[in-house]
Every structure is written in structure tokens, then in C-alpha cells.
Amino acid sequence: MKFDEVIGQEEVKERLLQMTREGRLPHAIMLCGPQGVGKKALAVAFACYLLGESRYETGESRNTDLASRNTEAMLRKLEHPDLHFTYPTIKLPSMSSDHKPVSDDFAKEWHELLTGGGPYFTMDEWMTAMGGENQQAVITAGESEDLVRKLSLKSSQGGYKVSIIWLPERMNIECANKLLKLIEEPPQQTVFLMVSEEPDQLLETIRSRVQRIDVKKLPAETIRQALVERRGISEEQAQRISRLANGSWLQALQELQVGTENEQFLDLYISLMRLAYQRKIRDLRKWSEVLAGFGREKQKRFLNYFLRMTRECFVYNFQDSQLVYMTEAEESFAKNFARFVNEANILPIYDLTNRAIRDIGQNANAKIVFFDFTLQIIVLLLQK
């Protein structure tokens, strides 16, 4: 994968290249930022650069050297022996009780997803690929042991060994402590590239030993241009989607799809608010059971959608179209509903929703969490 396949993020690309060319590349880098801005794509492209392009810049021939041509071929398929991927996994029913799932258990699924649609994919897509939509994916202690074994081997190509760790915040404590030791005393010419969305959940001792690079949201113009050039859509449609994407290429791709998840979430949002306003407790309980039937990752995505939609309703009251980022269907609902979201309840609604996200993330009973959530919404909608 090449850097030109990454959407935008020119500043981060240049920073990574400059550190390498000036000989001050740290052994551990953590790319931090919201979902969909290209962190994983940057990590993969930089890994390919370290394992391939950086060697040519030292004077090696790319045309006559058979080894360099083989390296290029391996990197195109992301099958280089010195490129290692670590990612959250689940425990399948077919696994023995004492087995600690590791990335290699799902190497085929990971490679198909990474090379099939590119590095822009969500945790939900990864969970579907593994066949575990209703589980919580984690990085186990078995993974750190496996990584120690792999990185202790000599580089097969005589250059860097690169370890890409996707979502290190999902490491359990045993794994995190073992990885800390590995980062403190890294094998020779090993580079760790961590891709994190919630770095504050990592051990402070790990955060203090990596160089953090913040990857910002993509400008709307960058997304608009990429939609037109890479997806071939009209300027008008690209303009609207780029605003709705809120800096996320993943969100832009989801907006392109027919029957997107956001449409389902909007229906659920509308249903909840109408039932809460009418105080239909029995129907709200059924609504809670529907949400409880989703996988936990999808439950958290709905709650984040709920936060966004509530914020948009609140801002809609200011009657400034430049501040509103909604689809036509969302705006149609907001026209009549927005007045119920006001200064008196917007912050309590945010606090309530964030508590629900925390509880779901800690494996609380989803039926109880969502039913309590709906009852609290009844009370908050009455505040003026």
C-alpha cells in the first residue's frame, strides 16, 4: 500500500517520512484520532514504506535487485514476513476452554478484509468477519506472548520488523503489562505502530513510552474531492455527504450505501422520542428489547448516533443552516421535534447517554440499561 492511497492527512504523512529520513524514527508510535480519519491506512502505508521504499532511498536499485522486486510484490499483497498485525479477537465455540485467542486465529479473515475493501473498515465489519457480532473483542495475553516470539526472530529481509497494533486500548491488563516490557526493551530494528481511538484507556506507562501523533478529522473539501475522484459521484451529492461525514471517510462511505445503518438508527431514534413523549411504557420496554438484541458494538454505535442526533436537534433551534449537519430525513424529523431539546435538558441527556455507553462497554445487562435509559428520557423531555 502506498501513501497516495490514504485519503488526505498530508501533514501526518510528511511528519512520518521526515522522521525516517532524518534518522530519528522512534521505536514506538501511536496514531490517535476518531474513527474513520485514516489512522489504520496511515499505519499500513508507513509500514510498507519502511519495509520497501525507505531502502531504495539509501541507494539500493529497485529495478535490477530481484529481492527488492519480491519485496514490492509481498507488500502489494500485505504478506511481507516482517509485517505483523495485532488486532482484537473473540473466542469461538470451536476453541478449547484454555485457548487464548490470538490474531493468527483470524489471519485469513483479517487479510481478506484488509485487502478486499482496503484499510478503511469499522470494528463492526471486523466482528462480522470473525463471526462474533454479539461479543466484545479484546487483545489477550496470548497475543503478547505470540508477538514476543515473532519479533524475537531475525528480520527475514535484513531491515525493519514492523508491528501494527490496531486498537491497543482493547488489550486486557495481562497483555498490556507484557507489551509494556516489550516496548521498554524492543528487539533490534523493530517499530511498533499503534492505532488508537481511545488512548486514555491505555496504561499511562505505555502512553509515556510511545510518540503520540494526533490524526485530525478530514476537511470536508478533502472528502468531497475523494468522493468525486474515487467514487465517481456528482458534485452536489459529494458536497452534502462531505458535510454529513463530519471528518470521517468511513462515515462518508456509509452515507453512500443504500439502506444504511444510520437509517435504521434514525427510525429507532424517532420511535424512542415519540414513545417517550407519549409515555408508552410497555412499548418502550419492547423498544429496549430490540436494542438489547443488537451486538454490543452496534449498541454503542446507536448511542453515539443518539448523541449526534440530539446535538443536531439542539443546534437546529438556532435556525442557522451552516451549523446543521443532517440528512434530509433527519432534518424533516427535527423540524417538529427540535423544540423539545433545549438548554434545560441537553446536558443531562448527554450525561445519561454517556453513562449508557459506559455500562454497555462494561457488559451490563443491555435490557436493563436501555429500559432505564428510555424511562429517563421521558423525564428529560418534560424539562423546559
Residue 138: DSSP 8-state: B
Average the pLDDT over each of 126-130, 236-240, 379-383 and give the range with the smallest value: 236-240
d(CA 161, CA 231): 34
For 195-219, write each residue's pLDDT tens digit: 999 999 888 999 999 999 999 999 9
Mean per-residue pLDDT, 262-281: 92
Other beta carbons within 10 Å of 35: 16
Residue 290 has pLDDT above 90, yes or no: yes
Q: How many CA atoms lie within 13 A of 152 on its CB side?
A: 7
The C-alpha cell of 109 is what?
479473515
Residue 58 has pLDDT above 60, yes or no: no
Contact indicator for 353, 307 with CB cutoff of 8 Å:
yes
63: pLDDT strictly greater than 80 = no
pTM over 0.75: no
Interatomic CA distance for residues 48 and 3, integer angstroms:
9
Q: What is the average pLDDT score of the chain?
A: 87
Per-residue pLDDT tens digits for 92-112: 888 888 888 899 999 999 999
**CA 25 vs CA 19, 156, 157, 168, 285: distances in Å:** 5, 21, 19, 20, 55
